[in-house]
């Protein structure tokens, strides 16, 4: 069973995009090629900020939802705290950023 990841991308306009995937590098390449999510087609990605590892899609989806509730500043703090590295652990929450 593959691991699932929640990832955060910084877009060229400074906005942040959060998504889930089993292969973050492949998914980032799709976003960069304009074949990813609708949001990244109109807000081209600049760089991958962080990724967080989860054991299954359900856990990754819950984490994605929790991260999407954060303000951009808290999302950036979460990325800084993780140093952009793949981390495994509990679902990030507003209290953990």
Share in percent of the chain as helix, strand, coil (round to 5)? 40, 25, 30
pLDDT at 1: 76
Predicted confidence at residue 97, as pLDDT, reads 44
What pLDDT, on the 0 to 100 scale, is given for residue 89?
A: 53
Give residue 2's pLDDT.
84
SS3 74: helix
Instruction: Give the pLDDT score at 8.
Output: 98
Domain 4-96, what architecture? 3-Layer(aba) Sandwich (3.40)
Place of tokens 């991260």: 67
* pLDDT averaged per 10 residues, the chain (length 97): 94 98 97 94 96 97 98 95 64 47
Q: How far is CA 55 from CA 19, 49, 50, 58, 73, in A?
A: 16, 21, 17, 9, 27
| Domains in the chain: boundaries | 4-96
Residue 87: what pLDDT? Answer: 59
pTM recorded for the entire structure = 0.85
């Amino acid at each position: 069973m593959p691991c699932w990841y929640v990832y955060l991308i910084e877009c060229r306009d400074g906005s942040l995009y959060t998504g889930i995937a089993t292969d973050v590098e492949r998914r980032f390449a799709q976003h960069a090629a304009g074949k990813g999510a609708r949001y990244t087609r109109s807000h081209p990605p600049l760089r991958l900020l962080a990724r967080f590892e989860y054991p299954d899609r359900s856990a990754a989806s819950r984490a994605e939802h929790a991260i999407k509730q954060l303000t951009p500043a808290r999302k950036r703090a979460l990325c800084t705290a993780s140093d952009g590295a793949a981390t495994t652990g509990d679902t990030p929450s507003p209290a953990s950023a």
